[in-house]
Amino acid sequence: MRVLHPIRPEEKLVSRGRYRYLIDGEPTGDLESWQITRLPNGDEFVRADLDGRESSGASLITHLLRREDGRPAVLRLRFEHEDVKAVAQYTFDEASVQVARTAEGEQRCVETVDIATGYVVDYHTMISQDYVWRGYEGVEGYSQMVPLFSPDLWVEKSQVLHGRALRFEVQPLPPTLCVVPAGAFAGAQHYRVRFEDGVEAEAWYDSRGVPLRWQFPARGYDFVLDEYQAQP
């Protein structure tokens, strides 16, 4: 697993695993390895390596510092695809995100993205898709609109890793059995998600909140947990 910053001696492993990316039930070749570690003060590092160099051609390595209360503090990432090579750091404040980004051949850019309070963050790895349950604060059974910050990947080179303030709708569904290659998870948290462009997805999580599966029925996309180890 590639990382931006190696594990320090004071970090303790919480969980780790791997996701497999599918289209119409067939593996794309893209694999995501991830691990979560905890510091003595309760803060956590979430590292992920989305490796599609031999398939889609995309490579995304991420490093998130998450506070003890679950709020994101700082995100660093490195993205490569075809002629694009870019790095960025995002510092999360209550109602804004400070962005510092650089793409190879482009000038360094520092900017601020304003966003509604209570926002969550999607940085394109499967392990980051826990933003769904983290953002939901509604009444069980009822949908809720949640503000979302997300870095841009698939844009022109000068705008790569710029961030956008978005919104999504989340509706909790009854807990269910979720079977993935990593195992069978009874009572999995289950949600329906609708994005601003109308695309819908379904998401399942284990009792720790780790994403088990994300499925986009209309597009044939399916992301499943294929290896998993969690500390007691």
How high does pLDDT run on average in the chain?
96
Number of domains in the chain: 1
Q: What share of the chain has pLDDT > 70, as a percent? A: 100
Reported as a pLDDT band with limits 50, 70 and 90, residue 216 is: very high
Q: What share of the chain has pLDDT > 90, as a percent? A: 97
| pLDDT the model gives residue 140 | 75
Range of the domain at 129: 12-230
Q: What would the two tokens of residue 77 be?
A: 């990432």
> In which residue are the tokens 């009792």 written?
207
**Does some domain include residue 5?**
no
| pLDDT digit string, tens, across residues 162-204 | 999 999 999 999 999 999 999 999 999 999 999 999 999 999 9
| pLDDT the model gives residue 232 | 87
**Does some domain include residue 6?**
no
- Asked whether the predicted pLDDT for residue 217 surpasses 80, the reply is yes
| pLDDT the model gives residue 138 | 80
**Does some domain include residue 158?**
yes
- Asked whether the predicted pLDDT for residue 141 surpasses 80, the reply is no
Asked if residue 169 lies in contact with residue 214, where contact means CB atoms within 8 angstroms, the answer is no
Q: Strand 144-151 relative to strand 120-121: parallel, antiparallel, unpaired? A: parallel
**Does some domain include residue 206?**
yes
- Beta bridge mates, 122: none
| pLDDT the model gives residue 4 | 98
Residue 141 or residue 66, greater confidence: 66
Instruction: Output phi, psi for 152, to 5 deg.
Output: -90, 130
**Does some domain include residue 2?**
no
In 129-206, alpha helices (H): 131-135
**Does some domain include residue 1?**
no
**Does some domain include residue 224?**
yes
Reported as a pLDDT band with limits 50, 70 and 90, residue 96 is: very high
**Does some domain include residue 198?**
yes
Reported as a pLDDT band with limits 50, 70 and 90, residue 112 is: very high
Model-level pTM? 0.95
| pLDDT the model gives residue 105 | 93
Give the number of C-alpha atoms closer than 13 A to the C-alpha of residue 223, restricted to the C-beta side: 24
> Helix, strand, coil shares of the chain as percentages rounded to 5?
5, 60, 35
Q: What would the two tokens of residue 132 be?
A: 């769904």
- Asked whether the predicted pLDDT for residue 23 surpasses 80, the reply is yes
What average pLDDT does this structure show over 28-56?
Answer: 97
| pLDDT the model gives residue 38 | 98
